Amino acid sequence: MNPVRNSNSDKNKNMGQEPDISNGMNRRDFLKKSIAVGAGGFVLSNQALEVHIGVKRPNIIFIISDEHNAGVLGCSGNDIVHTPHLDELARRGVTFESCYCNSPLCVPSRLSFTSGKYISRVGAWNNNCWLPSEDYPSLPRILNAVGYESFLCGKMHYDRTRRYGFTEIGGNMNNGYKKGTGSRRAADNLTPREGMSSRFDNFHTGDDSGVMTHDRNVTAGTIDFLKNRKASDRPFFLIAGYVAPHFPLIVPEEYWQLYEGKVPMPVIPAGHLESQVLNWQHLRIGFNVEDAPDDIVQKGRELYYGLTQWVDEEIGKVLKTLEDSEVADSTVVIYTTDHGENIGEHGLWWKNCMYEHASRVPLIVSWPARWKGSQRRTKACSLVDVVQTIAELGGAKVPYDWNGDSMVEWLDNPESGWKDWAVSEYYAHNIASGNAMLRMGKYKYVYHTPADEQHLAERELYDLSEDPGEFNNLAGNPEHSDRIAAMHTFLANELGENPDETEQRCRADYATGYSRD
């Protein structure tokens, strides 16, 4: 049996400054120094809440899209895209400006969320993976243990045999067959491929697609659920799993026309692509997106904006149904995505990297009964912190070895201390070696493990306050050597091992795969 802890026991109360990582302390030591343990705090605050507004523990709707670039959202400051429903959710809630996925790829990100752990701790290396067992401790299971009913409507990219404590509604939308295998690209294989990715063939308008059909079913299933849910029912945790704005970038004509000629092209400084680390060069070649013509890049970006507006409207239908339901006042709504989308920035498409376009995700948390709207939080957090937050809101006990920290106190009080760091990992396809990222304060550090004996580790360091486009890699600057060493130590301690060791475990797992009955 896994030891458990109160989900609010590790709330961070530092002074809003970058953590002192210069002495190489591990995560637990850091937390002991900078976190005041609030045993029983959730029970008291929840009781007070019930007295104040007369509600039981809240229902929780977790709306997760797929591949939503955090910058393509009205409430993030984008004045081109039309996302009125998510913007209204932000007006009624709290927007987190620096939230990160724990892996910029669908299945690893979602398995990390499901399990409350970093992907390297559960072997969620790529899209061909599952959690170590069907009955593995999961977020829905710990909520079910304290009286919740957990439902899944839509895609979470699970294996066809596993639901991890969810009851699926709205139809079977999780039919993967996971084998656990994977590979690495040969480090020297930088020869461009002929032609272009076939994915570019699906940059066009159309009234239907697999993505749109799936997402209409998610909307219908979620609406049906909310219409039939009574205020007297047990509290629920519901995931509505949309696929848009994930490619193929097919959207009805009228959505594309709104953006035709209006979306700016990516800014790529001269020499930038040639200066990128080996792994990002491999991504361009492996996905066959090298030298994509300007007209394809432009059309793809416009279609992406249109598909983002389209899914916003689907989400709006769900939010309107919730507003008209019996459970509106007692329901927390959380919106996020599993990872971002590069849409041509840095010469890249899809996700798979640690640039902001792929690793940073939108996050909105709304519950007007407890938190006033139009608030913003700027410090760094990640989706494992969202897991801890959901657990605390539900009064669930969290296994002690889970990652992340609850943000409930930070939601309650914007002046309360918050750790201001996040971790993400990528060990999947079209790279020469695995990599891990630490965002801490204004700095982002990315470590690329050695590909082989001839291709040693590479590092990236960006000052996001001075270089939000991530074009100036400071890793080679001697004045940042101490910072890089300290951040690397902190990253390894947080993950529980050096990423070099993680890479070797990943390669061994890929070679073995799963034995399926």
pLDDT, tens only, 22-65: 444 444 343 333 322 222 223 334 444 444 444 469 999 999 99
Could you give the CA distance from residue 282 to residue 285 in angstroms, rounded to a whole number?
Answer: 5
The answer as to whether 431 is a domain residue is yes
User: Quick one: pLDDT at residue 516?
Assistant: 84
User: Quick one: pLDDT at residue 5?
Assistant: 52
> Contact at 8 Å (CB) between 389 and 317?
no
Residue 11's pLDDT band, with cuts at 50, 70 and 90, is very low
Residue 300's pLDDT band, with cuts at 50, 70 and 90, is very high
The answer as to whether 398 is a domain residue is yes
Residue type, 147: G
pTM of the model: 0.91
Mean pLDDT calculated for residue range 423-448: 98
Could you give the CA distance from residue 92 to residue 373 in angstroms, rounded to a whole number?
Answer: 4
Mean pLDDT calculated for residue range 195-209: 96
The answer as to whether 517 is a domain residue is no
Report the largest interatomic distance among the alpha carbons of the chain, rounded to a whole angstrom.
67
The answer as to whether 397 is a domain residue is yes
Q: 499 lies in which domain range?
A: 4-15+26-512
Could you give the CA distance from residue 371 to residue 439 in angstroms, rounded to a whole number?
Answer: 27
Return the H-helix or E-strand segment holding 250.
strand 249-251
Side-chain-facing half-sphere of 359: CA atoms under 13 Å: 25
Determine what percent of the chain is predicted with pLDDT higher than 70.
89
238-267 per-position pLDDT tens digit? 999 999 999 999 999 999 999 999 999 999
Mean pLDDT calculated for residue range 397-416: 97
Say how many residues make up the chain. 517
The answer as to whether 21 is a domain residue is no
User: Quick one: pLDDT at residue 517?
Assistant: 73
The answer as to whether 332 is a domain residue is yes
Residue 130's pLDDT band, with cuts at 50, 70 and 90, is very high
Could you give the CA distance from residue 348 to residue 350 in angstroms, rounded to a whole number?
Answer: 7
Whether 424 has a pLDDT exceeding 70, the answer reads: yes
Task: Give the dihedral sign, CA 477/482/487/492.
Answer: positive
- The whole-angstrom distance between residue 411's C-alpha and the CA centroid of its chain comes to 19
The answer as to whether 20 is a domain residue is no
Task: Please list, residue by residue across 178-200, b when 16 or more beta carbons sit within 10 angstroms of its beta carbon and e when fewer do.
Answer: bebebebbebeeeeeeeebbebb
User: Quick one: pLDDT at residue 238?
Assistant: 98
* Count of domains forming the chain: 1
> Contact at 8 Å (CB) between 116 and 183?
no
Q: Mean pLDDT in the chain?
A: 91
346-381 per-position pLDDT tens digit? 999 999 999 999 999 999 999 999 999 999 999 999
The answer as to whether 413 is a domain residue is yes
CATH code, domain carrying 256: 3.40.720.10
Could you give the CA distance from residue 206 to residue 81 in angstroms, rounded to a whole number?
Answer: 19
User: Quick one: pLDDT at residue 24?
Assistant: 43
